[in-house]
Amino acid sequence: MNVADTHHTVAVIGGGQAGLAMSWYLRQRGIDHVVLEKNSVGHEWRTRRWDSFCLVTPNWQCDLPGWPYAGDDPDGFMPGPEVVGHLEKYAASFDPPLAEGVAVTRLRRLANHFELVTSAGRCTADQVVVATGPYHNPAVPRIAERLPAGLTQLHSSQYRNPAQLPEGEVLVVGTGQSGCQIAEDLHLANRTVHLAVGSAPRAARRYRGRDTLAWLDEMGHYRKGIDEFGDADEVRLRANHYMTGRDGGRDIDLRLFASQGMHLYGRLRSIADGTLTFGDDLRANLDRADAVAEGIKDAIDRHIESRGIAAPAEARYVPVWDPGAAPVDALPAARLSAVVWATGFHRDHRWVEVPVFDGRGYPTHERGVTSCPGLYFLGLPWQYTWGSGRFAGVSRDALYLAERITAARRQRVTDEVSWLAGTPTETYPDLERWAA
């Protein structure tokens, strides 16, 4: 699709699930638009996930506008290739005006429209939706430079499988969803794993006969808006609960891994003289993660009791391992053959030359609507609800923005009509159609 020297009512930047959902609603409203995708549909799921990756959220949450999950395993968890196929089929179902292989390198606001400089040429738009998500550049801490030069180092987005790494012991740094699942992947392959444990919470995969996420959905947790929290900025920065959808879904219990031979440490603090040193927070981090998981169960119990729901009783979690009074806090780098940095990503919106960002580089917005008229963001974690950055909630956010875009378009036409007031309609035969 040629985009050079074109003008559109709306330009959507990003062709992932957020950008495609936005396009579906714009097409339903007959609004002229283009979707600019740097790579291809499904690229992030295709190239930044490991081989055994599965969704953590159940398939029934893959509910894009006009494209609900229709497979035969709604309570299962799609592996990576199926996620890619789901998105490709979605795009094919309504044929969005998609320009793949087109990177936007500059976005700026001019007098009454936006200018986009792309790898395929310059184009303009009345309104713009930035749907590129939050996971742009792999974040590897500078402390990595202190490791021996010959030691293999990968970011989690580069990890594919245990065979990719040289033989020997592996350190995984970070216990968000990616770090825990990669550590499990290596552990199941009988690799000796060292894991630096952070403060990410965990949740049980199932409780009292149902997937925990199904209970939370029934309880209205995923419809709770960010404006209902007193600490909205902090909520947006919280790590996701770790669990897995692998092999039909199960808990990730770091204590169980430790009882089976995985080496757990606190946060990585320093690297000096060939030795990695860890903090003394391992016990606190494990206890906090367990407390969050048990707190979720408490909420489910209260829900079951208040509604009189018939649900099987279930014994509570009992820790199977304890770090002891003096946990190990040092590790010689010479023992390691590889390090996997599961330390997240940095946002990179430097190409957006519009002053809508806070001091941390986060776009300031209200439900995706920025202070710059006509500029919107979509697909950010906790943009409005827990599901905003996921399949589960992006449809609601896209619908909200579609309504704002439609209203802004009508206002723009009204302003143009006012500007042309008094001009005979025979001079501008399309005037009445514009105002419709």
Ordered mean pLDDT values, 10 residues apiece, the chain (436 residues): 94 97 98 98 95 97 95 96 97 97 97 95 98 92 95 98 98 96 98 97 98 96 87 80 96 98 97 96 97 98 98 97 88 98 94 94 94 96 88 94 95 60 44 37
Instruction: Determine whether 431 is exposed, middle or buried from the number of CB atoms within 10 Å of its CB (0-12, 13-18, 19+).
Output: middle
The single residue listed with the structure tokens 């042309």 is: 420
What is the predicted pLDDT for the residue at 410?
86
Alpha helix locations (H) across 64-199?
80-94, 177-188
- Whether 99 contacts 1, CB under 8 Å: yes
Residue 279 near residue 285, CB atoms below 8 Å: no
pLDDT at 387: 84
Whole-model pTM over 0.85: yes
Beta strands 336-341 and 152-155 are: parallel
- The confidence score (pLDDT) of residue 392 equals 85
Integer Cα distance of 194 and 330 in angstroms: 11
Per DSSP, the three-state class of 166 is coil
Q: What is the pLDDT of residue 236?
A: 81
Alpha carbon separation from 374 to 112, 230, 407 (Å, rounded) = 10, 28, 11
Q: Is 263 helix (H, G, I), strand (E, B) or coil?
A: strand
All structural domains of the chain, each given as residue ranges with its CATH number in brackets, are: 7-136+347-419 (3.50.50.60), 139-341 (3.50.50.60)
94 exposure class (CB count in 10 Å sphere: 0-12, 13-18, 19+): middle
Rounded-to-integer distance, Cα 349 and Cα 245, Å: 32
**CA-closest candidate to residue 14, choices 377, 355, 381:** 377
How far apart are the C-alpha atoms of 312 and 207, rounded to whole Å? 9
- Amino acid code (one letter) for 359: G
